[in-house]
Amino acid sequence: MRLAPKIALVLGAVFLLVGIAGMAFGGSELGDVPPESEDWSGTLKWEGETPSGYYGHFEWTAIYNVWVEEGSEVSVEVVDGGADNRFITCEELDDCGIFDVDGDIPGFQYIGEIWIDDSGWYEIRFTDDKQGSSGVMIREDPSVMGILGAIGGAGFCCGGVFLLALGATLSFTMQDKPKYDSQGHHLVENDGTRVILSEAPTRGSKDGVEQGDGAKWWVKESEKE
């Protein structure tokens, strides 16, 4: 087998294994939380009352949903977060009713998410616009990493299947050139034994093969290499 088919087959197998591992990782990150669970919108990261603040570590691979008591008006600020790390209201995301059925939390309403573009430590400040006290929650949803893992794994699997198919095709189409000895005999080696299948075609020979003096068309050499 030529070198190119071998490389394609090896890379295809590696890509396929990496893809399967990526899809398995993605599936484990997505988890199996039922829609009727409060954790459908993420596991509880922090819970408190306004006015208050929370200082913690946030990852760009997670979604941080913010819930407040029904009927309250709460402002959320990512202190010194800049334009890339901020709170985005559900009106801006156009998903205020996303948890009205699946993931509903009695007594609370979803108002938006904390968007983190740069992983790190941040202070989140909560204030009640009515100057009162309202319960607030931050719920962490790590499904982004699971989705990325599943998509990446699927891509690697597709690449692996393509390379395996390419390697198999090349292995059939790229055959090694026949070998001849100094006398023009076609040689094939099998477990160290050299077998002469035929003589190399010569000009003027019948059917392209020189007809000898009654010699057999093949000769098996006894010498081992």
Return phi, psi of residue 212, to 5°: -85, -165
CA contacts within 13 A on the Cβ side of 73: 3
Q: Evaluate if pTM is beyond 0.85.
A: no
pLDDT of residue 11: 84
Whole-number Å distance between alpha carbons of 105 and 155: 36
Q: What is the largest CA-CA distance in the chain?
A: 114
The gap between the terminal CA atoms of the chain, to the nearest Å, is 20
pLDDT of residue 144: 66
Residue ranges per domain, the chain? 3-27+148-173, 43-141, 179-224
Sheet containing 193-199, strands listed edge to edge, beginning at the edge strand earlier in sequence: 179-180, 185-190, 193-199, 219-224
CA distances for 174 relative to 9, 14, 169, angstroms = 14, 22, 8
Pairing label, strands 120-128, 135-141: unpaired
- pLDDT tens digit string along 6-24? 788 888 888 888 878 776 7
pLDDT of residue 208: 46
- pLDDT tens digit string along 159-186? 888 888 888 887 777 666 666 556 555 5
More confident residue, 153 or 199: 153
Whole-number Å distance between alpha carbons of 142 and 118: 15
> Residue 204 corresponds to which tokens in the numbers above?
């003027």
Average pLDDT on 17-37 reads 67
pLDDT tier at 211, thresholds 50, 70, 90: very low
Q: Which residue has the tokens 């090349």?
A: 170
Winning range, highest mean pLDDT, from 24-38, 88-102, 149-163, 188-202:
88-102
* Element housing 169 (H / E): helix 143-173
DSSP 41: G
* Element housing 28 (H / E): helix 3-30
pLDDT tier at 115, thresholds 50, 70, 90: very high
pLDDT tier at 131, thresholds 50, 70, 90: confident
Mean pLDDT over the full length of the chain: 77
Average pLDDT on 186-196 reads 55
Asked if residue 106 lies in contact with residue 112, where contact means CB atoms within 8 angstroms, the answer is no
Q: Is 97 left (phi over 0), alpha (psi -120 to 50) or beta?
A: alpha
Closest CA to 135 of 55, 54, 47: 47
pLDDT of residue 190: 56
43-141 placed in CATH 2.30.30: no
- pLDDT tens digit string along 45-81? 999 999 999 999 999 988 999 999 998 999 999 999 9
Whole-number Å distance between alpha carbons of 86 and 21: 33
